[in-house]
Amino acid sequence: MSDSMSLSRVRVATTSLAGCFGCHMSFLDMDERLLELAKVVEFDRSPLTDIKHCGPCDIGLIEGGVCNAENVHVLREFRRNCKTLVAVGACAINGGLPAQRNHLDLGDCLQQVYVKRDGVEEGGVPDDPELPLLLDRVHPIHEVVRVDYFIPGCPPSGDAIWKFLTDLIGGRTPRLPHPLLRFD
């Protein structure tokens, strides 16, 4: 591929924060349309590439809410680099099912899983500085950075993601018609 060709392509980065990778699987559910997409899109940082940090991009697709300190750093890196940042899926939009921990005490949760659970004999709550600390609550990404568009669904269908991306890349305001707009 020549440099001029790569320059003309739309650069897309993707990441999963407090996500389940289901939105990325839905992205892959575009099936053979991925080949169409590959003609106009070049991927930057993504679980599907080996690029470690997000460079300047046209579109950033974010799956998952924000549940720990590393999520905050990654999200800010994407916002700095992506012209258009998109919240993909219920978790990125409202915290999703992981936000059902928001009414529980975080210390109690960690104690329950790492100390009090049957079969756990020793160790305790992991405390290595290598590990990102959890936030006391799970947040939608729009509470941390500005978000340009939202694709709802848990996950959004491959059809919905295709419709959104083709609208956006084609220069149209992205819009999901009734059958593609789902929260569940």
Partner 1 sequence: MGGKFLFDGRPVPFEEGQTILEAARAAGHYIPHLCWHPDFPPHGSCKLCVVKVGGRHVSSCALPARDGMEVESNTPEINGERRALLQMLFVEGNHFCPSCEKSGNCQLQALAYELDMSSARFAHFYPDRPVDASHPDVLLDFNRCIFCELCVRASRDVDHKGVFALTGRGIRKHLVVNAESGRLADTDFAVSDRAADICPVGVILRKRVGFAVPIGERKYDEAAISSVAMEKGE
Dihedral class, residue 15 (left if φ above 0, else alpha if ψ from -120 to 50, else beta): beta
Neighbour count for residue 63 (Cβ, 10 Å): 31
For residue 81, the minimal CB distance to partner 1 (Å) is 22
Per-residue DSSP letters for 95-138? --GGGGGTTS-HHHHHHIIIIISTT--S--S---TTSPPEEEEE
The nearer residue to partner 1, 11 or 180, going by C-beta atoms, is: 180
Total residues at interface with partner 1 (CB under 8 A): 28
For residue 143, the minimal CB distance to partner 1 (Å) is 6
Q: Which of residues 88-147 bind partner 1 (CB under 8 A)?
A: 90, 93-97, 99-100, 102-103, 137, 140, 142-143, 147
In eight-state DSSP terms, residue 18 is B
For position 21 contacting partner 1 by CB under 8 A, the verdict is no
3-state class percentages of the chain: helix first, strand second, coil last, to nearest 5 = 40, 20, 40
For position 184 contacting partner 1 by CB under 8 A, the verdict is yes
Chain residues in the site for partner 1 (CB under 8 A):
87, 90, 93-97, 99-100, 102-103, 137, 140, 142-143, 147, 149-152, 154, 175-176, 178, 181-184
